[in-house]
Amino acid sequence: MAAKADPTGRIARAVRGLLEPGEDVVLAVKVQRPGTHSAQLEGAATGAISGATDTPYAARGGTDPDHARWLEQAVSLGIAPEAAQRVIHLFLVITSSRVLLVRRSRLMGRAQELIAAWPRTSLRASKITAASHTVQLEVDGAPLHLELPKAAKHLPAAYREIAGHLAG
């Protein structure tokens, strides 16, 4: 199987208007708010069941614990509550001096809004958990969980390089 293309160049072009003078993109990947993957699967299953039985069906009611955790973590790290609530798809951009979270459109991949920017030195750790399809960032010691868009084994090598670019 051919290696997957590194998305850094394409994402760097999409976010160039958000960069400071002299700032360069080192690594950039697509991520999403935790719970997105399970919500997509749940929606597909709900549609299949409703279509097969010709009756309305809802798989889950109430709030998603992954979404609630995301909101708590995001707001505690300075992300505006309204932005944290509406964002689903993001670019995680590591530049020469900062780490950016940028809201993106799902289909076209356009940068829509800078959600957060932290000094690169404030992110001390990053861990990708293949089994749970997540990447965990630590911003000044506080956790921020993000979800990978696919199973880790199907992603370009850039995703496995996140930790190396954020290590102290």
Structural domains in the chain (count):
1
Residue range(s) defining the domain that contains residue 151? 8-51+64-166
Summarised one tens digit per residue, pLDDT across range 24-41 is 999 999 999 986 544 444
- How far is 59 from 74, CA to CA, in rounded Å? 27
List the CATH number of the domain containing 94.
2.30.29
On whether residue 56 sits in a domain, the answer given is: no
Cβ-in-10-Å burial (0-12, 13-18, 19+) of 105 comes to exposed
Q: What are phi and psi of 61, to 5 degrees?
A: -120, 170
Q: What is the pTM for the complete model shown?
A: 0.80
104 strand-pairing partners: 111
pLDDT at 123: 87
pLDDT at 36: 55
Summarised one tens digit per residue, pLDDT across range 70-122 is 899 999 999 999 999 989 999 999 999 999 999 998 777 799 999 999 999 99
Residues sharing a CB contact under 8 Å with residue 165, sequence separation 6 or more, in sequence order: 26, 27, 94
